[in-house]
């Protein structure tokens, strides 16, 4: 009986290893080709964020759209907007805005 259990356990381990490998193939990004730089997202970071939706939202046009949407919500329904604002991590948003401002100042040519 112990031999049967050991054989079943070994077969189970092999199936688990195979499914893990299949998941790695599906979830891991493909290796970079060519010059090794790879495909940079809209925000200039390699591979982050991978989602096209998040890349669009993190671009300048996406942030402008989100800002306009937030402003419209604040004007139309201020109580709802303030309640939703409590869910936003203020520290992370402040760091992101500061980083965007610094990068904009660095990229601006000197007069």
pLDDT digits (tens, 9 = 90+) for 37-59: 445 544 455 566 777 777 777 78
The domain locations on the chain are: 50-107
Measure Cα distances from 11 to 18, 19, 22, 24, 50 in Å. Answer: 11, 12, 17, 20, 35
Q: Give the Cα separation of 77 and 30 in Å (integer).
A: 45
| pTM listed for this prediction | 0.39
54-84 in b/e burial notation, b at 16+ Cβ within 10 A?
Answer: ebebbeeebeeeeeeeeeeeeeeeeeeeeee
- List beta partners, residue 40: 46
Q: Where are the alpha helices (DSSP H) in 28-111?
A: 52-58, 60-76, 78-85, 90-107
Q: Looking at residue 80, what is its pLDDT?
A: 92
Residues of the chain with pLDDT under 50: 35-38, 41-43
């Amino acid at each position: 009986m112990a031999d049967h259990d050991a054989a079943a356990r070994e077969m189970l381990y092999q199936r688990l290893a195979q499914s893990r490998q299949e998941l790695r193939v599906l979830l891991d990004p493909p290796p970079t080709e060519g010059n090794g730089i790879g495909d940079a997202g809209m925000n200039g970071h390699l591979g982050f964020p991978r989602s096209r939706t998040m890349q669009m939202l993190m671009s300048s046009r996406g942030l402008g759209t989100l800002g306009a949407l937030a402003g419209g919500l604040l004007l139309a329904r201020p109580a709802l907007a303030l309640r939703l604002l409590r869910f936003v991590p203020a520290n992370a948003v402040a760091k992101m805005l500061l980083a965007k401002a610094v990068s904009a100042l660095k990229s601006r040519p000197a007069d």
